[in-house]
Structure 1
Amino acid sequence: MNISGNTIFIPGSTSGIGLALALELQAKGNTVIVGGRRTELLERIAAEHPGIDTVRIDTADAASIESAAKEVLARHPDLNVLVTMAGIMKIEDWHRPESFLASAEAVVTTNVLGPIRLIAAFVEHLRAQPDATIVTVSSGLAFTPLKVTPSYNASKAAIHMLSESIRLQLADTSVKVVELVPPSVRTALLPGQESSEFAMPLEEFVAEVVGLLETEPDAKEIQVERVKFLRYGEARGDYDQVVATLNAADPHGN
Structure 2
Amino acid sequence: MKTTGNTILITGGGSGIGRELAQHFFELGNTVIVAGRRMETLVETIAGRDRMHAMILDVEDPKAISDFARRVTAEYPALNVLINNAGIMRREDLTRSRDLRDAEETVVTNLLGPIRLTNALIDHLRGQPNAAIVNVTSGLAFVPLSSTPTYNATKAAIHSYTVSLRQQLKDKVEVIELAPPAVRTELTPGQSAREEYMPLDAFIDEAMALFQKQPTPKEILVERVGFLRWAEREGRFDHAVETLSAH
What is the TM-score normalised by the length of structure 2?
A: 0.96
- Name 2:88's counterpart in structure 1: 88
1:205 to 203, 218, 221: 203
Structure-2 separation of matches of 1:127 and 1:106: 30
- Name 1:152's counterpart in structure 2: 151
Structure-2 separation of matches of 1:216 and 1:102: 43
Q: Report which stretch shifted further, 178-187 or 67-76.
A: 67-76
Structure-2 separation of matches of 1:149 and 1:193: 14
- Name 2:122's counterpart in structure 1: 123
Amino acid of the structure 2 residue aligned with 1:106: E
- Name 1:40's counterpart in structure 2: 40
Q: CA deviation at 1:243?
A: 1.4
Q: CA deviation at 1:51?
A: 2.4
- Secondary structure of the structure 2 residue equivalent to 1:233: coil
- Name 2:136's counterpart in structure 1: 137
Structure-1 separation of matches of 2:50 and 2:96: 48
C-alpha contact 2:39 2:54 (8 A) present in aligned 1: no
- Secondary structure of the structure 2 residue equivalent to 1:13: coil
Amino acid of the structure 1 residue aligned with 2:234: R
The residue correspondences of 1:170-249 to structure 2 (distance < 5 A) are 170-171=169-170, 173-248=171-246
Structure-2 separation of matches of 1:218 and 1:209: 11
- Secondary structure of the structure 2 residue equivalent to 1:98: coil
- Secondary structure of the structure 1 residue equivalent to 2:220: strand
C-alpha contact 2:30 2:51 (8 A) present in aligned 1: no
C-alpha offsets along residues 78-100 of structure 1, whole Å, 9 cap, x if unaligned?
1110000100000000122324x
Q: CA deviation at 1:55?
A: 0.8
Amino acid of the structure 1 residue aligned with 2:207: V
> Once the two structures are aligned, what percentage of the paired residues are identical?
50
C-alpha contact 1:57 1:65 (8 A) present in aligned 2: yes
Q: CA deviation at 1:236?
A: 0.5
Q: CA deviation at 1:216?
A: 4.1
- Secondary structure of the structure 2 residue equivalent to 1:212: helix
- Name 1:98's counterpart in structure 2: 98
Q: Report which stretch shifted further, 233-242 or 106-115.
A: 233-242
**Structure 1 residues 49 and 239, CA, compared in 2 at 3 Å: closer, same or farther?**
same
Q: CA RMSD in A?
A: 1.2
C-alpha contact 1:135 1:179 (8 A) present in aligned 2: yes
C-alpha contact 2:107 2:154 (8 A) present in aligned 1: yes
Q: CA deviation at 1:64?
A: 1.3
- Secondary structure of the structure 2 residue equivalent to 1:134: strand
- Name 1:62's counterpart in structure 2: 62
Instruction: Specify which structure has the higher proportion of helix.
Output: 1
C-alpha contact 1:7 1:80 (8 A) present in aligned 2: yes
Structure-1 separation of matches of 2:46 and 2:223: 33
